[in-house]
Each structure stands twice: as C-alpha cells, then as structure tokens.
Amino acid sequence: MVRTKIYPGYRHEILNYLDIRDEVEDGIIEFVKYIIQIDNLEY
C-alpha cells in the first residue's frame, strides 16, 4: 500500500515551514505508529 500526503502550497523540506510543522510532525508520528503496529502483527 502506498499513501501520499500533499500539503498544498508547500514544496519540499516541509518541516521548515513553521505554520504547518505541527501537522507534519503529527503525520510522521502517526505513520511510525502504524508501521510499528504492522510490524508487531507480523511476528
């Protein structure tokens, strides 16, 4: 499965944009939690 998250109006290095940094970090944390959950289910 491939997921894409687009932040309209932003190009690259989106963690450098202070106005969306919290949203981007939250998305990264949710992604990592999801990956950890899948990894734990496989064993």
| Closest CA relative to residue 25, chosen from 15, 37, 34, 11 | 15
Domain that holds residue 34: 1-43
Q: Look at residue 43 and tell me whether its pLDDT is greater than 80.
A: no
Helix, strand, or coil (residue 25):
helix
Q: pTM value?
A: 0.74
Q: What is the pLDDT of residues 1-41, one digit of tens each?
A: 688 889 999 988 999 999 999 999 999 999 999 989 887 77
The pLDDT value given to residue 42: 64
Backbone angles phi, psi at 23, to 5 degrees: -65, -40
Into how many domains does the chain fold?
A: 1
Q: Residue 38: CB partners within 8 Å, gap ≥ 6?
A: none
Q: Please name the amino acid found at residue 37.
A: Q
Cα 20 to Cα 28: distance, rounded to the nearest angstrom: 12
